[in-house]
Amino acid sequence: MSYRPLLAALSGALVCTVVAVLTAVITEGDGPDRRPRPTASATATEMPAPVQSPMSDAGPANGPALDSNFPDPEVLKAGDAYFAYATNDGGKNVPVAKAPSALGPWSRTDADALPALPAWAQHGRTWAPDVSVRSDGSYLLYFTAMSRDGGQQCIGAATASSPLGPFTPQGTSPLVCRRHVDTIDPAAFVDSDGARYLLYKQGGEHGGLYLQRTSPDGLRLDGSPVRILTKGDDEPSLIEAPALVKHGGTYVLFYAAGVFYRSDYQTRYATASSITGPYTKAPRPLLSTDGYRKEITGPGGADIVHDGTDSHLVFHGIAQFLGGDSVRRAMYVAELGWADGTPVVRGSPVRYEAENGRVYGARIRRVRDGVSGGAAVDDMDNAQSLAEVDVYAPRMGDYLVRVRYANHGDDAAHMLTVNGGAPVVVRYPGSSGRWRDVEIEVALRAGWNVLRLARQFGNAELDYIEVS
């Protein structure tokens, strides 16, 4: 994926009143900063500021952008059109789709961007293409293919004068190849100083993500690769599918964790002040099956595209399990925003710890087990008791707010206000000290919003607030 510096901007504005949806959904669980950072889910190209996901308008919550099999999507803006490229399918090495905007409508073309593979490559396993624009206006395609010499997956390069291709393979051997070890998921990155890089995944469970400097035309390697990320203990199976962008002065590395045909496949991110790292991983997935109200399974293979005003995250989700490691993966497009440098995807939950907000007339209780963040807001039992958190919305619209609470006695209630608007009663049924969730739908403006929970009656302890 290729990125040029983007003008980051997200205008916020119209204050929306709260949509009073009081039919709370209750689920059970175990047992102030000025602006608390979200603990959920993040390009080197300047990206816009944060937004999170409503349930109306175009976006993943309304279904896939392409419902046919279109895995590992890569999206490129060329002129006034958008082009998407995918892993081999339907007899095409690199299928292509086209749309007038990042949000669609998307339709598959008859084109195969790479109709002829190089002599070193076998047919049938052409994966995860990446297309970028070079400084001379031509197009560079990186692709994964199986080597005839050894059977391992390797990375090749091809060029074309049109985003539709046909791309012509360059060189007589792979650009990156390691005998008996798979090298997959290439992604181009152009830094703000014009330096060009190639990212890729190499090895299995004990492999990692690598960064390699290239020549300006992207066809030769410069120096040695640097391993910039490995799988963490809390991540499933393996990591793959790197995509790098630069937001402000921070490098944000998106990647997938898990195996693509399983429901625990997920999208995560890590950040660094230097392109070579060290990269610090976010504590929670950016996208997972638990997000989007569990309507998208195994979201991964993400790419980032900027339309000149807004940013979007493009990814695949499992639309159908076909048995074994065979799945049909549809393409989704979600709005992407940046909350003080933290990526926020509209529709995917972002968690805000209540104890990190502004707390009055209550106390922060440290809890060893069963509580997110290790603390909760307690003793909200007087007329002055309230907690405020600042939450980010990528676009103006309706959002789902989930409040995790516990109480030991009778029912309790808080008055919820958004940006000082009309209050809505949030009721907390007695939970016998166990953690439960209440969900309320609210209207948020684009950018930062203030959610205030003030005691009405009873004593409900607060763990966190999630917005999706």
Residues 6+ apart with CB under 8 A from 64: 317, 319, 330, 331, 332
Q: List the one residue out of 393, 388, 446, 461 whose CA is nearest residue 420.
A: 388
For residues 399 and 269, membership in a common domain is answered with: no
Q: Per the domain annotation, does 9 fall within a domain?
A: no
The residues facing 468 across adjacent strands are: none
For residues 147 and 70, membership in a common domain is answered with: yes
Calculate mean pLDDT across residues 255-275: 97
CB atoms within 10 A of CB 321: 15
Q: Per the domain annotation, does 316 fall within a domain?
A: yes
- The structural domain count of the chain equals 2
Q: How many whole angstroms separate alpha carbon 27 and alpha carbon 438?
A: 7
Of these residues, 130, 185, 240, 463, which one is catalytic?
240
How much is the pTM?
0.85
Is there a contact between 419 and 15 (Cβ–Cβ < 8 Å)? yes
Residues 352, 353, 359, 361, Cα dihedral to 10°: 130
For residues 328 and 184, membership in a common domain is answered with: yes
Output helix, strand, coil percentages for the chain, rounded to the nearest 5: 5, 50, 50
- Model confidence band, residue 60 (pLDDT cutoffs 50, 70, 90): low
For residues 221 and 125, membership in a common domain is answered with: yes
Q: How many whole angstroms separate alpha carbon 330 and alpha carbon 66?
A: 6
pLDDT digits (tens, 9 = 90+) for 62-104: 689 999 999 999 999 999 999 999 999 999 999 999 999 999 9
For residues 126 and 267, membership in a common domain is answered with: yes
For residues 135 and 240, membership in a common domain is answered with: yes
For residues 273 and 398, membership in a common domain is answered with: no
For residues 284 and 367, membership in a common domain is answered with: no
Determine the residue type at 82: Y
pLDDT digits (tens, 9 = 90+) for 342-400: 899 988 999 999 999 999 999 999 987 789 999 999 999 999 999 999 999 999 999 99
Calculate mean pLDDT across residues 292-319: 92
* Known active-site residue 72: yes
For residues 320 and 384, membership in a common domain is answered with: no
Q: Per the domain annotation, does 167 fall within a domain?
A: yes
Of these residues, 46, 72, 74, 310, which one is catalytic?
72
For residues 110 and 200, membership in a common domain is answered with: yes
Q: Where among 306, 329, 345 does a domain terminate?
A: 345
- In this prediction, residue 10 carries a pLDDT of 30
**Full domain range(s) for residue 366:** 27-39+351-467
For residues 283 and 374, membership in a common domain is answered with: no
Is there a contact between 97 and 114 (Cβ–Cβ < 8 Å)? no
For residues 87 and 202, membership in a common domain is answered with: yes
* Known active-site residue 191: no
